[in-house]
Structure 1
Amino acid sequence: MLEQLALPSPPEESSGRVTGSTEADEALDHRMELGLMHEWTAYGSKTFSTAWEFWCYQAPLIALDSRYAMNGLLGLAALHSAKRDPSHWATADGRFLAIRDPLYATQNHQRGLEESWKIGPEIFIGPQKADPTDDADQALLAATRSREMTTISRHYFDRAIDGHRMALANLTVHNIESIYMTSVLVAFNALFLLSETERDSTVQAVDPTLWLQLASGTAVVCERWRELVGEAWVAASGAFYGKPDLSNNEELFKPEHAKSFERLLTYAGGYELLNEEDKETYSKALSYIGLIYTGIQTKSDHPMATCRRLFAMPSKLPLRFTTMAQQGQPRARAMLAHVFACMKLLDDKVLWFKGVAECQIPRIQQDLPQEWKAMLEWPMAVVRGGPSAIGRDVDVGANPSFGAQ
């Protein structure tokens, strides 16, 4: 099964250094990597999973024993840095403020610490009138920094993929943990890059099925891990800590979860012609998506718990779903659009999801056959800032009857 894991080929120049090869550049690399590790442990590791203790404390230790795992971790840290606003440490009240935050004023960060304590937190109480020149400078700073960190992230992930591919060819009990962690980091990167064309029009659009493929591959690696060391050792690693519990398939795939999107399951006459395996795959996919949506709408899941469900989706669903999405099956693609719409409902709380729906849902809608476009009415409405709930405000009409998909 491991030979079926297809990793994207890095560009030829990826083997070069991020900076030059001089001693001064080596020192700069070390400082940059220390900065990225700080970015990861202080911020990035806590932004995408309820299992943040593993990613904050254990993952860096694993990375110290594996350069390709370290490259993946630093690559994701750089991408996190690229996506968030530049920050300034507010010494008076001990917290970070975004430079473009209305509470921030240029004169405040110029004060010495010995003066800040006299003024107290009220210096950060606003809003304050900003100098338009400062606004322009800050916007330029943010854009420049974002491009630089995105470039650094790509270099690290190119290296991570190179090393990961070689490690997969020589998998042992000693490197399986770092291989698994790297496979997860690479899959995260593939998902988070789905928004890049929204931020930079010069970047080539990423096919969303690459994320599905890479994330599905983590399940294969995990199964091999269990074969090598046993369930108890895998559980003890900490990689699967966090809520919600994703091991109860009966709960994950309850048919009633799919009620909100039930028309997606049987829409179009071709459904009756599907074989039983495909019907079961679609049923499980829609139940899982419905569970995610319900958790968002009812607020029964914390945003980080929903993130955990979303990231795990490709590895929890049958591999057949990824295959059907890659083949361009309209039903699978429409379901994927609903996944991205759920991400949009969270993008004010999860920076990784910003721009994903805006980039991917219109592309899916454009590629669907005309008769299937009605099934993307709700995802498209969510992208436009419309209704967040399925209901009368979005009506896709009665099921038409036409040929097999």
Structure 2
Amino acid sequence: MGIASQTRVIYHFQFLDSARPELQASGFRLQASGFSTRDAPSTVTQEVKGRLPKVSQFFVQFFDTCKNRKIKCDEVHPACGNCLKHGVSCDFESPETPASASTPSIAAPSPVMSSASPVSTPRSSSNSSIMPLYQTPAAMVRAHSNPAVSRSLEFRLLHHYTALTSQTFSDTKEQNHVWQVDIPTIAYDAQYLMDAILAVSALHLRSMHPEDHSLIRASHGYMASSIAQYSNLLNKGLSEMNAEALFSTAALIAFQASASRRFDDDANGTYTLPLAWFHSFQGVKTVVLASWQWLRSSNRVYPIINSQPALFLDPDPERKLFFAPLLEGLEEQLATLPAESQPATRQAYEHAVSFLNWSHQKPIRNRILGFAATVSRRFVDLVGQQDPRALVIAACFFALTKMVDNVWWLEGIAKREVNGILSILPQEWWPKMEWALRVASHEGPLNEEIWGSTIRSPHENDSIKLEEEFEAGVTHHIELLASMVNGYVNKPMLEDPLIEEPLD
């Protein structure tokens, strides 16, 4: 096998490694919506393998009031931002009279789903009593308000999205048209997508008007509504009727997870790892792979997917590229681990560092942000466990975003996350943070001296030449992965040379 095929095989294995568990025939795990029980307290970390747990049970078990959760409350009435964000009842609301009951003249937003993908109501009595908490959390935005004012807010949010927010997700005219025109059109028949659009628009407006509490409530409420419906549909399964809408919703959830970090106040001054960032972007990948047989023929969302650059990573640790020092001492570390976990751990580190090198050579937004989606599930686990090496690698990823933080949903992310990771990192690992700290703390345009460059070596041009000569784009990779995961194989895929290699 040639160098190109070797590189592609390693990439495919890495990419598939993080996607396969979420695509088992039994259904999606929670990561498909960008959230995971890895973020939950230990009392809630229960068995989640197999089908997605009922959303109602998850929301009730996972979250509590601000006081019990010991987090800072913004004291917004009638419901605080944290409770709106998580779709639970708030202490500010009357426990005897829920908000939805106190305002009977204000109708909750009714789902406008396509007939092919309705959101069903759980039938168990234990779930029915809490349905208002997760089925239509957007109703909380309208509680104690004039219906005309609520409608005015929605018009304001939709206009802001089409006029401004939609233009911040891409750098090309073709993709901007998709976000501005096609995605809202798809949302006409998918209430969960419309709620996601309104939530992201409200968050964008909040970045411009941080003291406007109505925007805080709107952003939290609409996103809670979107996630609840979206998770329910993922549990039922993707189809030709909902593939476009679910992909679009997954992407907007990822944007929301990214942008929300700039507003998060860490409780008691303790830094909280941005695991939702990784889970949400991996959720986009999961939806793409599971619904690729329909998305590949979609004229509306295909331009977004096809715009992603195909990965050409150099996995050879002997080639001393820019981030090679992050792998120093790896053999000694692996020797302390159980033998069965060593291969996956090694692969997680080496793939992540290879991605950093690839992005660093040509730092464009689509390359850099692909890190969160393509790292392995094992790597995300290591970050969640606060493994020092994984934390340093993650810090370098966030430092890379400094080069492309000219959009509102990435602004300030590099400095916040790099400094936060440093605060929980063992002191002996601080020297590995030198580059990330230098880049993240730099004010003004990044120059070559600050950014650095890959270490010159005789093999440096190999990967660059391969990338220039190989014509297939990211869709070629998706075709292969989708065929392996879903059993979907089309005729051109049978001619792919990689099929001749053993994949299991």
Decide: shared fold, TM above 0.5.
yes
Give the 3-state SS of the residue equivalent to 1:70 in structure 2.
Answer: helix
Give the 3-state SS of the residue equivalent to 2:451 in structure 1.
Answer: coil
Q: 1:43 aligns with which of 164, 181, 201?
A: 164
Q: Which amino acid aligns with 2:257?
A: A
Q: Does 2:430 match 1:370?
A: no
Task: Give the distance between the partners of 1:202 and 1:31, measured in 2 at CA.
Answer: 37
Q: 2:372 aligns with which of 308, 314, 317?
A: 314
Q: Does 2:399 match 1:341?
A: yes
What is the deviation of 1:202? 9.3
Q: Does 2:190 match 1:66?
A: yes
Task: Give the distance between the partners of 2:320 and 2:229, measured in 1 at CA.
Answer: 40
Within a 5 Å distance, the mapping from 1:247-326 to structure 2 comes to 248-249=310-311, 251-252=312-313, 259-267=321-329, 270-271=332-333, 273=335, 275-296=342-363, 306-326=364-384
Within a 5 Å distance, the mapping from 1:165-176 to structure 2 comes to 165-173=231-239, 174-176=241-243
* 2:262–2:413 CA contact under 8 A, matched in 1: yes
What is the deviation of 1:267? 4.3
Aligned to 2:287: 221
What is the deviation of 1:268? 5.3
Give the 3-state SS of the residue equivalent to 1:339 in structure 2.
Answer: helix
What is the deviation of 1:225? 0.6
Q: Residues 376 and 207 from structure 1, CA distance in 2 versus in 1: closer, same or farther, beyond 3 angstroms?
A: same
Structure 2: runs of 5+ lacking an equivalent: 1-21, 36-58, 60-85, 90-132, 444-448, 454-504
Q: Residues 188 and 325 from structure 1, CA distance in 2 versus in 1: closer, same or farther, beyond 3 angstroms?
A: same
Give CA-to-partner distance per residue, 1:32-91, whole Å, 9 cap, x none: 11211111111111112243222111111111111111111111111111223xxxxxxx
* 2:259–2:408 CA contact under 8 A, matched in 1: no
* Worse overlay, 44-53 or 160-169: 44-53
Q: Which amino acid aligns with 2:150?
A: D
Q: Residues 69 and 311 from structure 1, CA distance in 2 versus in 1: closer, same or farther, beyond 3 angstroms?
A: farther
* 2:315–2:350 CA contact under 8 A, matched in 1: no
What is the deviation of 1:143? 4.1
Q: Residues 254 and 269 from structure 1, CA distance in 2 versus in 1: closer, same or farther, beyond 3 angstroms?
A: closer
What is the deviation of 1:269? 5.2
Give CA-to-partner distance per residue, 1:215-236, whole Å, 9 cap, x none: 112222222212xx45632x53
Aligned to 2:275: 209
* Worse overlay, 34-43 or 174-183: 174-183
Give CA-to-partner distance per residue, 1:19-38, whole Å, 9 cap, x none: 3366xx22222221121111
Give the 3-state SS of the residue equivalent to 1:222 in structure 2.
Answer: helix
Aligned to 1:232: 296
Aligned to 1:379: 436
Give the 3-state SS of the residue equivalent to 1:345 in structure 2.
Answer: helix
Within a 5 Å distance, the mapping from 1:93-108 to structure 2 comes to none
* 2:388–2:426 CA contact under 8 A, matched in 1: yes
* 1:48–1:308 CA contact under 8 A, matched in 2: no
* 1:292–1:309 CA contact under 8 A, matched in 2: yes
Aligned to 2:70: none
Task: Give the distance between the partners of 2:452 and 2:160, measured in 1 at CA.
Answer: 38
Aligned to 1:3: 28
Task: Give the distance between the partners of 2:441 and 2:255, measured in 1 at CA.
Answer: 25
Within a 5 Å distance, the mapping from 1:7-18 to structure 2 comes to 7=33, 8=35, 9=59, 10-13=86-89, 15=137, 16-18=139-141
Give the 3-state SS of the residue equivalent to 1:350 in structure 2.
Answer: coil
Give CA-to-partner distance per residue, 1:118-159, whole Å, 9 cap, x none: xxxxxxxxxxxxxxxxxxxxxxxx4423x5423321111111
Q: Tell me the percent identity.
A: 23
Task: Give the distance between the partners of 1:68 and 1:205, measured in 2 at CA.
Answer: 31
Q: Residues 243 and 161 from structure 1, CA distance in 2 versus in 1: closer, same or farther, beyond 3 angstroms?
A: closer
Q: Which amino acid aligns with 2:203?
A: L
Give the 3-state SS of the residue equivalent to 2:143 in structure 1.
Answer: coil
What is the deviation of 1:314? 2.4
Aligned length: 316
Task: Give the distance between the partners of 2:395 and 2:334, measured in 1 at CA.
Answer: 23
Task: Give the distance between the partners of 1:384 and 1:294, measured in 2 at CA.
Answer: 20
Task: Give the distance between the partners of 1:326 and 1:79, measured in 2 at CA.
Answer: 26
Q: Residues 81 and 337 from structure 1, CA distance in 2 versus in 1: closer, same or farther, beyond 3 angstroms?
A: same
Aligned to 2:142: 19
Task: Give the distance between the partners of 2:262 and 2:332, measured in 1 at CA.
Answer: 32
Give the 3-state SS of the residue equivalent to 2:142 in structure 1.
Answer: coil
Q: 2:304 aligns with which of 231, 241, 250?
A: 241
Q: Once superposed, what is the RMSD of the aligned Cα atoms?
A: 3.1
Structure 1: runs of 5+ lacking an equivalent: 85-141, 297-305, 392-405
Q: Which amino acid aligns with 2:166?
A: S
* 1:340–1:361 CA contact under 8 A, matched in 2: yes
Q: Does 2:227 match 1:161?
A: yes
Aligned to 1:109: none
* 1:5–1:214 CA contact under 8 A, matched in 2: no
Task: Give the distance between the partners of 1:202 and 1:322, measured in 2 at CA.
Answer: 25
- Whichever structure has more helix as a proportion of its residues is 1
Q: Which amino acid aligns with 1:162?
A: A
What is the deviation of 1:327? 2.2
What is the deviation of 1:271? 4.6
Give CA-to-partner distance per residue, 1:327-353, whole Å, 9 cap, x none: 222221111101111122333x22222
* 1:197–1:203 CA contact under 8 A, matched in 2: no
* 2:199–2:219 CA contact under 8 A, matched in 1: yes
Task: Give the distance between the partners of 1:203 and 1:334, measured in 2 at CA.
Answer: 21
Q: Which amino acid aligns with 1:48?
A: F
Q: Which amino acid aligns with 1:73?
A: I
* 1:258–1:290 CA contact under 8 A, matched in 2: no
* 1:183–1:214 CA contact under 8 A, matched in 2: yes
* 1:194–1:206 CA contact under 8 A, matched in 2: no
* 2:313–2:355 CA contact under 8 A, matched in 1: yes
Q: Does 2:207 match 1:83?
A: yes
